[in-house]
Amino acid sequence: MVSASPMHAPLNLALYLVTDPEMTARRGLLETVASAIAGGVTIVQLRHKDGPARPRVEAGRALKALLARHGVPLIVNDRVDVAQAIGADGVHVGQDDLPPAAARALLGPDAIVGFSITDESQLAALDASVDYVGLGPIFPTGTKLDAAPAVGQTTFAALRRRIPRPVVAIGGITVANAASAIAAGADGIAVVSAICAANDPCAAAHALRAVVDRALAARTIGRIA
């Protein structure tokens, strides 16, 4: 049983933006993210899998400064060293990365530590060092070439009931299916192309946030009823 509470303020996972260097290249990382924040993004993950660390650190520092002005947390994908170098709010690790407990030991009690889970067999690795779980892919996705098979809403809901931490749904989420992810138990949605590849990231984020907010409100009303 996972216990203990994170030391930082409660997370707002409603609209979680994961950046992609190729998708943001046309507009620029900072401009894309600034536009997305204006549209309602609540947390941002810097994901840059390839290339040297120095450009990633430089981009991360600029992004951290931007997000700090808006009170939006910055999470770094995989790289604890990069998170430390740029003063990020936390890190998100996957099954093949540094274990969550090790990331927590390096970053301290105030850091945000996220953890990816794609199937039932990985639930055993969930421990008290994890603040939130990225669960999925819930729907088929082409953004991540090595993504696991989509679990679907039914399996997602069953797995979510066994996770005693906030859960953000990821994988193939659009305006058309975002409400289904929330109905399946997600506390928010994580998207890449739905915002990064949009012609208007602000409008795309605003549309997604509206769907999520309505779905969360409907779920709360249903519980009360």
Residues forming the active site: 47, 116, 144
DSSP notation for the chain: ------SSPPP--SEEEE--TTTTTTT-HHHHHHHHHHHT--EEEE---SS-HHHHHHHHHHHHHHHHHHT--EEEES-HHHHHHHT-SEEEE-TTSS-HHHHHHHH-TTSEEEEEE-SGGGGGG--TT-SEEEE--SS--SSSTTPPPP-HHHHHHHHHTT--S-EEEESS--TTTHHHHHHTT-SEEEESHHHHTSS-HHHHHHHHHHHHHHHHHHHHHHHH-
